[in-house]
């Protein structure tokens, strides 16, 4: 739960007492995203409140995401806060600075990094996002030593607004879960993303960019998934018919920064989404094929 107007010097939670405070670094940092969050369905793709859990299974991978009625499930727009946090941690680590799960920043620093406005309404939306991140619970087998083991956490353990002794606002403090923090510190589990990602307005196109960036990367010949596989991977509550319509619209508009998309219809009538870096020669070899169940490097 958030605690407003409290100075960290006067009242600290047991978790805070064991963590050093990491203050947000200034400057124009490259956005970084956690690959696990890019590859699997962890967030609601809808702007309306979602209470239906995400229950995803593929091979040894299991994910269960649950929401509370008061706030609803954390959305893919709320995940921008985690991208901000990952970017701060990676930049500090690479600079030889000490990082921590306990982070402090001003709302202005977070909002400007993720391309939002800084009005009073934007500040309130940020606080609502923090509430959803804190109240959404995740249980997953990803990065667990045994398939049947689960790591359960919330995207933010706790957060609060801070103030000085005179009651003047200082900013926000939040504590990240260990599962997320450890993954960010691992070089192999973080990717740089295009800052233009934050300008994407649709939930499916945001999710699709992250998936494309994770799987396609900068591979010259691109990648390919069939629509049914993508629907399963998204965790979307939209019927596959509507989901397919949204995919076709995204291909028509070509909004994903750095990637070109195309739809291919197979001999059996199945629709597939092909994607590759937009700078690739269009006469290059056809996209790599991945079937619905699993692909090499898909971690499924």
Q: What are phi and psi of 201, to 5 degrees?
A: -100, -25
Grouping H, G, I as helix, E, B as strand and the rest as coil, residue 124 is: helix
Q: What is the pLDDT of residues 55-104, one digit of tens each?
A: 999 989 999 999 999 999 999 999 999 999 999 999 999 999 999 999 99
Q: Whole-model pTM?
A: 0.86
Which run of H or of E encompasses 22? strand 21-23
Q: Which domains does the chain possess?
A: 14-192 (no CATH), 200-277 (1.10.10)
Q: d(Cα 169, Cα 160) in Å, to the nearest integer?
A: 11
pLDDT value at 280 more than 50:
no
Grouping H, G, I as helix, E, B as strand and the rest as coil, residue 157 is: coil
Q: Quick one: pLDDT at residue 146?
A: 65
pLDDT value at 291 more than 80:
no
Q: Give me the helix-helix angle, 80-94 and 120-135, nearest 10°.
A: 80
For residue 23, the cross-strand partners are 104
Of 26, 46, 82, residue with least CA distance to 236: 46
Give the up-direction half-sphere exposure of residue 200: CA atoms within 13 A in the CB hemisphere. Answer: 25
What band does 251 get if pLDDT is binned at 50, 70 and 90?
very high
DSSP 263: E
At 85, list the tokens: 């946090």
Q: What is the pLDDT of residues 39-60, one digit of tens each?
A: 999 999 999 999 999 999 998 9
At 292, list the tokens: 């619905």
Q: d(Cα 10, Cα 12) in Å, to the nearest integer?
A: 7
């Amino acid at each position: 739960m958030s605690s407003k107007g409290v100075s960290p010097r006067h009242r600290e939670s047991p978790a805070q007492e064991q963590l050093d405070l990491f203050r947000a670094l200034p400057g124009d940092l490259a956005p970084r995203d956690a690959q696990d969050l890019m590859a699997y369905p962890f967030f609601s793709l809808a702007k309306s409140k979602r209470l239906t859990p995400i229950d995803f299974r593929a091979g040894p991978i299991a994910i269960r995401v649950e929401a509370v009625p008061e706030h609803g499930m954390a959305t893919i727009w709320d995940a921008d806060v985690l991208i901000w946090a990952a970017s701060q941690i990676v930049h500090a680590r690479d600079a030889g600075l000490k990082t921590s799960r306990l982070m402090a920043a001003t709302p202005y620093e977070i909002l400007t990094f993720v391309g939002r406005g800084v009005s009073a309404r934007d500040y309130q939306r940020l606080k609502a996002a923090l509430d959803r991140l804190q109240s959404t619970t995740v249980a997953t087998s990803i990065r667990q030593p045994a398939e049947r083991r689960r790591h359960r956490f919330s995207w933010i353990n706790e957060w609060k607004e801070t103030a000085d002794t005179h009651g003047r606002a200082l900013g926000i403090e939040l504590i990240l879960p260990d599962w997320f923090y450890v993954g960010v510190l691992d070089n192999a589990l973080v990717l740089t993303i295009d800052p233009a990602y934050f300008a994407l307005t649709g939930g499916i196109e945001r999710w699709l960019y992250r998936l494309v960036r994770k799987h396609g990367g900068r591979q010259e010949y691109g990648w390919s998934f069939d629509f049914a596989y993508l629907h399963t991977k998204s965790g979307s509550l939209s019927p596959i018919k509507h989901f397919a319509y949204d995919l076709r619209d995204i291909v028509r508009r070509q909004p994903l920064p750095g990637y070109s998309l195309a739809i291919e219809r197979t001999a059996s009538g199945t629709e597939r989404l092909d994607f590759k870096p937009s700078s690739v020669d269009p006469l290059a070899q056809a996209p790599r094929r991945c079937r619905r169940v699993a692909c090499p490097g898909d971690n499924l």
